[in-house]
Each structure stands twice: as structure tokens, then as C-alpha cells.
Chain A
């Protein structure tokens, strides 16, 4: 990782997290580079989803979460007491495992973020229309959906729903997009479409993706993090991890000896 001196987007130092008495993450320290796709891999229960969700603190909704250490995103410690969670989530968006558009129209789904983050008067119709078109073009849904923006988002196919879930983050101009196994509910074509979309979005956004699918990590990410039992085992360029991993446990996982 010789080039890591360039800009970092997320820096995590000695971050530990407990759910009640159970320690889910142990002294995690990581540097995540700006503008690339980083994948998090590891067997179930290794803490990769917890780590991902810690980055915009959506895992705190279940209560009894305690943390120690620092997570800096774009220079700010997001664990500070004065951090506004709505603001944090505005700049660190998240896409979930199952597509979860809200049961409102496609149009309203996309402008939902704008509406909750601005005064009602500040939003003109033309501004909203433009935001919808830009977001849908960016996720390549505009041509398919431009004539049915008033339809319920929940009636779309899963692949379109998941793209919409990505699109609805974009009007808020997030810096980081977290993806929690975004393709696990999709078929082969849907998976390919979403992966292509991610590749197109890298550069403009810093993307972190949790995946169970090692081939997917290999296809989409520039860097890869292997986790086990709440700890980071190895973090390197993706080809490095898959071709010549340094740690014995990484080798065994990648060879499929456990998982």
C-alpha cells in the first residue's frame, strides 16, 4: 500500500464495539482511500456488517451499543457527542441487503432525502424534478422509469428497486456510500447491473461494500479487507489479497476451507 499517503476518506483508530456484553469489533484500525471501492469480506458473524453500519451509526438504533476509539470521516470524528446523526447519514448513505424503497411513488422516494433535510419552502418543483432526473440518470433508470414516476416504488422489479435505493441517496450528495450485501436479493442479471453501476460511481463516491461473495469482491473492489472474529486480518489491494495473501487465515478463507 505504498500509494496510501494520498487522500484518505475514512480513518478508523482502535475502534471497538459492544452489543451489551458481547464485543463485536476489537481494536479495528483502518484507512480507507478516497474514491475507490473497498470490499469487506469474511465469514458470517465476523463483524463486517457491524463495521459497515458503524460508519453512519445506523447500528445504534437497537440500543445497548457501546464503542471506544475513533472513526474519522473526512476529518471529523463521527463518534463525537456533538455529531448530528441526520447530517452524518446525509453524507454517509447506506444501501441495504434487501431493496427497501418506501411505499410511496418513485419520485417521492428520490426526493425523500431532500425533503427531510431542507425547509419546505427551499424546494421548488423544478429543483426536485431536476434532482429526480439526475439521480435516475446516474443509476441508469431514467429511460425505463421516466414515464412512471408516479407509480409505487414497491411495484418495481427487485433490480430496479435496488438501483432506486442507490438513486435516492444521490440528491443528498453523499461522500461515502455503504452497501450491505446489495446484490444478495438479486438474480445474476440484477447483480451484474448493480456491479456495473458501482464501477461507474467509483471515483465520485467512496464505496464500501460488504459481501459474502468472494468473486464479487474480486470483480468490483480495488481494495479488500478480510475480517475474522471482530478483527481485521488483512487489508490490501484486491488482487494482492486474492493472489498472494499474507495471512494463513486469509489463505484458508479464500480457498474456501471455512466460511
Chain B
């Protein structure tokens, strides 16, 4: 009996590993023909911006604009979410009373429980109108819209992991600093942020991972136009342009392709690219967190 239970538990433990490899294998397998065929040019795939996968005469598969879409939405989302998330975590762990702390944590966890399609819905309706009204943009489904939605979606992750990191700062450090007469704000930026910096960095990276991988909400909020929101004229970055992300492209197009067709396989290659990005981000976050423990 003991042995059986041990076996079952072991299978549960290993299954996560198996699934990760199986998914990666599947994605790779579906895109294999294209990848190993001589026709596929990886540089052209990454660094051209023409994405005409359904063209009869001349299909082109350049994902540069999609990468730019994902990058612009993610970066802007982090520019919003990181200050808010860190600020909230600092407030929760250091400044507020214990009853308010519990209430805030529950509410923030609730924020994480909102389904992404509901966020997309908010982007498509409320945010859309708001952006048109506030900025006079012809359409509100833009980088900015998607970034705000994504920021709201990543804030819970950033807050909860940052709060753990701050809580892990030994109390003796706080005591030492208080004994020397720090003000509360000096305590935060002289003692807590430097001591917790690895955990905070990990929190930000996991937030990025969330933002890069998110699909439905950005699909609905960013306008779905293959377009690079950067150019050579100031201000170089145009948050009121519509874009399309890597994830949104897969979600929108995969259902309409013939299984095994070139377009189908290219979408799987996009999947591999996406998987590699989030894998790299999460791995970095993991290594960073390990870094704290080893010290």
C-alpha cells in the first residue's frame, strides 16, 4: 500500500515535467516540416515585417511587427504595473495595519481571478471609449489600451511575489535601521528595497512572463492590426497605434488554417518563439530567486 501511494505521488510530481516536455515536443512537431525544409529562412521570419500568411500568390511570414506588438504592449504594461505593484506591495507589507493588510491581499487576489476575456471585454468597451475621448484617437483599441489591461492583470502577481520578498527581509535589519533612526521612507529605499531586490526582480520578471503570454485580453484590446508602433520620428513610440501580438495572431488564425498547411506550421513556429521567450523569462526569474537563497 505504502509503495502504491509513493508511486502515485511520484507520478504526480513527475507529470509536470512530462507535460512541459510534451507540449514543447508537440509544438515543435507540428512546425517541424517547415523548420527543416530548405525554404524556411529564420532571419527573414524574425526580421521582416510583412505578415501575409493567407496570400494566394505570394505568402510572406515576417513576424517583426508581431514581435514589436508584443514588446510594445508588454513594456508599456510593465511601465504601469511595476510602480503600482511595488508601491502596493510596500504599502501592504510595511505601512498598513494588519486588518487592512488582510483585506487588501484578498482584494488583490480577487483581481487575479478575473477571467482574461472579461478584461478583454473591458478593453473593448470602457477603455476603448475612454481612450477615444481622452486622447482624441480615431480608435481606442491601441497599445495603450492593451497595456493598461495587461498591467491590471499582472499587478496581482507582482504584488504577491514582491510582498513575499519584502516579508522575507529579516526583522533584525528593520530593527537595526530603526535603532539608527531611519524614517519610514528611508527604511524602504535604504534597507528593504536593496535587501529584497532579487525577489522584487523575480516578481517583475514573472509579471513580464504573464504579459507576454496573455492572449485573449490583448487580442480584444489592441485593435488587431499588423503594425509596428515605432518609427524614426519623435516621439518614436506611438502608444495610440493599433498593434497585434504574437499570441493574438495564433489565437485568431489557427482555427482558419488547413491542418498541416504552411500557414498552420508557421503559426506553430510562432508558438515555439513565444514559448522560448516565456521560458527564458521564467528561467531567469527562477535563477534570480535561487540567487537569494544561496546568499
Contact = CB atoms under 8 A, between A and B. Distances in A.
Interface of A: 56, 58, 61, 63, 85-90, 93-94, 96, 98, 100-104, 112-113, 115-117, 165, 168-169, 172
A124 B237 CA distance: 42
B180 to A, nearest CB: 5
Contacts of A61: 174-175, 178
Given A58-B175, A96-B172, A96-B175, A102 B182 contact: no
Nearest to A104: B194
A171 B174 CA distance: 20
Contacts of A90: 180-181
A86 B170 CA distance: 21
Given A112-B190, A116-B186, A116-B190, A102 B173 contact: yes
Contact of A58 (B97, B179, B183, B195): B179
A90 B175 CA distance: 14
B180 A88 contact: no
Interface of B: 97, 170, 172-183, 186, 190-191, 194-195
Nearest to A114: B180
A93 B180 contact: yes
A89 B182 CA distance: 9
Contacts of B183: 86, 116
B175 A102 contact: no
Contacts of B178: 58, 61, 89
Contacts of A165: 176
B96 to A, nearest CB: 12
Nearest to B97: A63
A35 B181 CA distance: 22
B173 A116 contact: no
30 contacts: A58-B179, A63-B97, A85-B181, A86-B182, A88-B181, A89-B180, A89-B181, A90-B180, A90-B181, A93-B179, A96-B175, A98-B172, A100-B170, A100-B172, A100-B176, A101-B176, A102-B173, A102-B177, A103-B173, A103-B194, A103-B195, A104-B194, A112-B177, A113-B180, A116-B180, A116-B181, A116-B182, A116-B186, A165-B176, A169-B180
A100 B194 CA distance: 16
Contacts of A100: 170, 172-173, 175-176
Contacts of A117: 181
B210 to A, nearest CB: 30
Nearest to B194: A104
B179 A56 contact: yes
Nearest to A87: B181
A30 B55 CA distance: 92
Contacts of A96: 172, 175-176, 179
A113 B182 CA distance: 8
B175 A168 contact: no
Given A90-B181, A116-B183, 4 more contacts: A86-B182, A89-B180, A96-B176, A100-B170
A88 B180 CA distance: 9
Nearest to B190: A116
A89 B181 CA distance: 5
A258 B191 CA distance: 41
Contacts of A115: 190
Interface pairs A-B: 9 shortest CB-CB: A89-B181, A100-B172, A86-B181, A94-B179, A100-B176, A113-B180, A90-B181, A116-B186, A116-B182
A117 B175 CA distance: 17
A101 B170 CA distance: 11
B133 to A, nearest CB: 44
A187 B85 CA distance: 45
Contact of B191 (A88, A89, A102, A169): A102
A104 B183 CA distance: 19
Contacts of A104: 194
A60 to B, nearest CB: 10
A176 to B, nearest CB: 12
A93 B195 CA distance: 23
Nearest to A91: B181
A100 B191 CA distance: 13
Contacts of A98: 172
Contacts of A93: 179-180
